[in-house]
Amino acid sequence: MIEVKKIQVAKQLKNLETSPYKGKGLGKKYGINLSGYFKLYAVKKQIRIVYRIKENQVMVEVISIGMREDFAVYREAFKRIKK
């Protein structure tokens, strides 16, 4: 089952190569400000991929991948951005 999830996440990451705006824009919620970042779902919305589009470098930077439970993936993304 874990391999299936990894494959589905990898497919979504591959999709970002050609469709970086496929994800939904994030904002500020629950004290976590992720304005300018996007989320993309994988594994029937069980896993979130948080990323941003770096226009000047024509690339997508993945910040965090994980479960939504207790907004853990968003908290981890915010912690990484702050560093």
Tens of pLDDT, residue by residue over 35-74, are 999 999 999 899 999 999 987 767 899 999 998 788 899 9
Cβ distance 62 to 76 under 8 Å?
Answer: no
Counted domains in the chain: 1
Tell how far CA 28 is from the center of its chain: 15
What pTM was computed for the model? 0.85
Residue 63 near residue 39, CB atoms below 8 Å = no
- Domain CATH code at residue 60: 3.30.2310.20
